[in-house]
Structure 1
Amino acid sequence: MPPVQDKAVRHWFVTGASGGLGRHLTEHALRSGDRVTATVRRPSALDDLRRTYGDRLSVEVLDLARPDDVEEVVGRTLRAGPVDIVVNNAGYAVVGAAEEMTAEQIRDQIEVLLLAPMMITRAFLKPMREQGGGRIIQISSVGGQVGIPTHSAYHAGKWGLEGFTESVSREVRDFGIHLTLVEPGATRTGFASALDYTTETAAYRDNAVGPIRRHLETADGSAFTGDPARIAAVVHDTTRHPDPPLRLALGSDTYDAVHAALTERLTALVSQKDLAASVAFSP
Structure 2
Amino acid sequence: MSSLLSKLTVGTIGITCKTFLNIGYCSSVTVFGLENLVNALNSKERDARRGVITLSNHISTLDDPVTWGILPTHYFFNTRTTRWVLGASDMMFTNPVLSTFFRNGQVIETFRGAGIFQPAVDFAIDKLNEGAWIHLFGEGKVNQPNVDKHESNILPHKLLRFKWGVGRIVMEAVKPPVIIPMWLSGFDKLMPEDRPSPYKFFPRRGANLSITFGKPIDDDNVKATLKRYKSSLPYRHNKPQFSTPDEKLAKSTKEGWLSEAVVEPEDPPVSLTEETDRTRSKLTGLLQQYVEALGQEVNKRT
TM-score, L = length of structure 2: 0.37
TM-score, L = length of structure 1: 0.39
Larger RCO, structures 1/2 (Cα 8 Å, 6+ apart): 2
Higher relative helix content: 1
